[in-house]
């Protein structure tokens, strides 16, 4: 068929099952948006308030649905506004394809109006980027973009297309998406060694990462836990893989993880790392991390093996395929004493309600969880509220806790919640945020209002930038530099200004009542919850520390 470049983009999106894109139009993108108008029955375009919101929405959409998220932006500032969103997706291995329009090829390199070289800007924060200035290269670039984003360790890819190419006519024969189901092969020798190390261990512990969720290997991992009687801790990125009430579950590992998870790593004789990268938020001190343990690791990305922590055996493999082959080699064992010891540490807890404020974050989160079902998607921003959400939500399923783990992007939440709700319209979406994070990108309220998305935003409002404030209190002698901004924002009025609904709550009873009302609303709701600025996130292991440095609260 004869198509122009923009129609070709639409056809290739359809070939890849893309029915939703997030974006923002502009001069260089006029042809692309004209094609979107033509294809509007097949491809829904969600216009956000800001391109950053579109990039987070594509990311949230991908995390909630497991599909590749797509966002559009125009040249120059449109394209640069995607950068934080792409970096966020890159750090958390989320498949996103960003399509940007650039100025026409005859203007490239002349500092034309709204020209930037976005394909070079994003080199360090994407799996790959394409600059397309010849119509004959467009189809291959787009097919490759989807292959790269969705294969191996997933991640974002950007395709930058010059404006003239979006208008040029080309003959196109429909193609099938490229096959990228092939996984790295691993040797029987690695498999046998892996199995014998597990079989010989007296105090094994599983260190489960986001790769287990991405590879959909939760079932295989839980079988391993059961057959060999192994306790397991999860990272922020794999909340929900291990059921909240799993008798062998130790909760979240790392800086704000549970005592049980961190202690188990420290006392274990074998750490089984699955789809995880020993990040500095878990292996806070890489040379002392799990110092009594042998370490074995499976990862889809060979460069993650021996990167942060040196392991005794590393296998480059898809964790689901590897575990499937491994399970028959695993002996039935009982580690009663070890399990009892490891899960026993779960009972040691800091004082949850450490100050006498009326409304505590745990009460907010518990009320939310009691009034929502298992399919609910919880999305967070970044900071104290994020850690409280990670700690207190009863995670039961994957793709149901959406958070910026690697990059720690404040302002991620609202866009991501919009993407999640668009991708999973039948799921309830709750957006937990703080007053700091929310101020960054709350402009996306207009998107939630236009799209009539009943997203409930729970603002844990302590009037300060809580996480930094906490560190200044703990390590900088209460010198609260630029964390106490004395803002006078009235979130209830602001919500109403956007055409959303605003509530506020100062006590647990008030919150419960307001939240139940919020659930009945047909559009977006904000709930401003006053919490104490002195409330800290515990437990906590300071950066670079070990279990010995843990502050319980």
| CA neighbor of 272 nearest in space, from 296, 304, 301, 300 | 296
Q: Does 310 bind another protein (CB under 8 A)?
A: yes
| Alpha carbons 202 and 212: distance in angstroms, whole number | 24
Of 128, 203, 360, 399, the residue at the interface with another protein (CB under 8 A) is 128
Site residues for another protein, 232-261, by CB under 8 A, read none
Q: Does 530 bind another protein (CB under 8 A)?
A: no
Number of residues that bind another protein (CB under 8 A): 23
Question: In terms of CB distance, is 148 or 379 closer to another protein?
Answer: 148
Q: Does 196 bind another protein (CB under 8 A)?
A: no
Q: Does 312 bind another protein (CB under 8 A)?
A: yes
| Alpha carbons 73 and 81: distance in angstroms, whole number | 9
- The neighbour count for residue 443, using CB atoms within 10 Å, is 17
| Candidates 103-111, 124-132, 284-292, 410-418; binding stretch for another protein (CB under 8 A) | 124-132
Query: Which of 15, 114, 506, 521 does the annotation list as catalytic?
Result: 114
DSSP state of 494: H
| Alpha carbons 177 and 144: distance in angstroms, whole number | 9
Q: Does 302 bind another protein (CB under 8 A)?
A: yes
The two tokens of residue 81 are 């506004």
DSSP state of 179: P
Q: Is 533 exposed, middle or buried (0-12, 13-18, 19+ CB in 10 A)?
A: buried
The two tokens of residue 395 are 């995670």
Q: Does 178 bind another protein (CB under 8 A)?
A: no
Residue 313: CB minimum distance to another protein, A: 8
Q: Does 105 bind another protein (CB under 8 A)?
A: no
Would residue 113 show up in a list of annotated catalytic residues for this protein?
yes
Residue 109: CB minimum distance to another protein, A: 12
Residue 237: CB minimum distance to another protein, A: 20
Q: Does 8 bind another protein (CB under 8 A)?
A: no
Q: Does 127 bind another protein (CB under 8 A)?
A: yes
Q: Does 120 bind another protein (CB under 8 A)?
A: yes
Q: Does 140 bind another protein (CB under 8 A)?
A: no
Letter string b/e over residues 339-377, b meaning 16 or more CB atoms within 10 A of that residue's CB: bebbbebbeeeeeeeeeebebbbebbbbbbbeebeeebb
Question: In terms of CB distance, is 13 or 121 closer to another protein?
Answer: 121
| Alpha carbons 411 and 436: distance in angstroms, whole number | 9
Would residue 130 show up in a list of annotated catalytic residues for this protein?
no
The two tokens of residue 363 are 């009460």
DSSP 363-376: HHHHHHHHTS-TTP
Of 315, 440, 460, 531, the residue at the interface with another protein (CB under 8 A) is 315
Q: Does 303 bind another protein (CB under 8 A)?
A: yes
Would residue 51 show up in a list of annotated catalytic residues for this protein?
yes
**Residue ranges binding another protein (CB under 8 A):** 119-120, 123-124, 127-128, 131, 144, 148, 152, 301-303, 305-307, 310-316
């Amino acid at each position: 068929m004869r198509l122009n470049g923009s129609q070709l983009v639409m056809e290739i999106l359809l070939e890849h099952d893309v029915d939703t894109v997030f974006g923002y139009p502009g001069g260089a993108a006029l042809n692309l948006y004209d094609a979107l108008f033509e294809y509007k029955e097949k491809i829904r375009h969600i216009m956000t308030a800001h391109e950053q919101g579109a990039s987070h929405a594509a990311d949230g959409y991908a995390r909630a649905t497991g599909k590749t998220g797509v966002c559009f932006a125009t040249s120059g500032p449109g394209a640069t506004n995607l950068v934080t969103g792409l970096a966020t997706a890159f750090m958390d291995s989320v498949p996103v394809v960003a399509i940007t329009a650039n100025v026409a090829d005859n203007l490239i390199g002349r500092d034309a109006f709204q020209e930037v070289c976005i394909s070079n800007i994003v080199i360090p924060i994407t799996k790959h980027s394409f600059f397309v200035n010849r119509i004959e290269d467009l189809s291959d670039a787009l097919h490759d973009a989807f292959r790269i984003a969705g294969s191996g360790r997933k991640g974002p890819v950007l395709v930058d297309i010059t404006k003239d190419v979006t208008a040029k006519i080309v003959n196109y024969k429909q193609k099938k998406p490229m096959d990228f189901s092939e996984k790295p092969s691993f040797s029987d020798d690695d498999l046998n060694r892996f199995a014998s190390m597990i079989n010989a261990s007296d105090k094994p512990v599983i260190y489960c990462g986001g790769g287990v969720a991405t590879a959909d290997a939760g079932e295989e991992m839980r079988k391993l836990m059961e057959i060999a009687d192994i306790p397991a801790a999860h990272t922020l990125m794999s909340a929900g893989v291990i059921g909240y009430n799993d008798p062998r579950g130790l909760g979240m590992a790392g800086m704000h993880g549970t005592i049980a998870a961190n202690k188990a790593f420290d006392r274990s004789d074998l750490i089984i790392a699955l789809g995880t990268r020993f990040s500095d938020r878990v292996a806070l001190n890489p040379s002392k991390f799990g110092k009594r343990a042998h370490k074995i690791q499976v990862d889809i990305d060979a460069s993650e093996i021996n990167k942060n922590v040196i392991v005794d055996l590393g296998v480059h493999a898809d964790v689901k395929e590897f575990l499937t082959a491994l399970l028959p080699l695993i002996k039935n064992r009982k580690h009663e004493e070890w399990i009892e010891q490891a899960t026993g540490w779960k009972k040691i807890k800091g004082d949850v309600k450490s100050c006498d404020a009326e409304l505590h974050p745990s009460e907010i989160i518990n009320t939310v969880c009691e009034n929502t079902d298992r399919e609910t998607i919880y999305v967070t921003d970044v900071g104290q509220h994020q850690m409280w959400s990670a700690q207190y939500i009863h995670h039961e399923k994957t793709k149901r806790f959406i958070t910026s783990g690697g990059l720690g992007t404040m302002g991620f939440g609202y866009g991501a919640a919009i993407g999640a709700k668009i991708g999973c319209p039948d799921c309830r979406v709750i957006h937990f945020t703080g007053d700091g994070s929310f101020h960054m990108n709350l402009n996306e309220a207009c998107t939630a209002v236009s799209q009539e998305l009943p997203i409930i935003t729970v603002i844990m409002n302590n009037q300060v930038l809580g996480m930094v404030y906490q560190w200044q209190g703990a390590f900088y002698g209460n010198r609260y530099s630029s964390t106490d901004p004395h803002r006078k924002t009235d979130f209830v009025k602001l919500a109403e200004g956007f055409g959303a609904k605003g509530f506020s709550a100062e006590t647990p009873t008030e919150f419960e009542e307001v939240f139940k009302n919020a659930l009945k609303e047909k559009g977006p709701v904000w709930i401003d919850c006053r919490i104490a600025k002195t409330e800290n996130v515990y437990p906590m292991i300071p950066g670079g520390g070990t279990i010995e440095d843990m502050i319980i609260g």
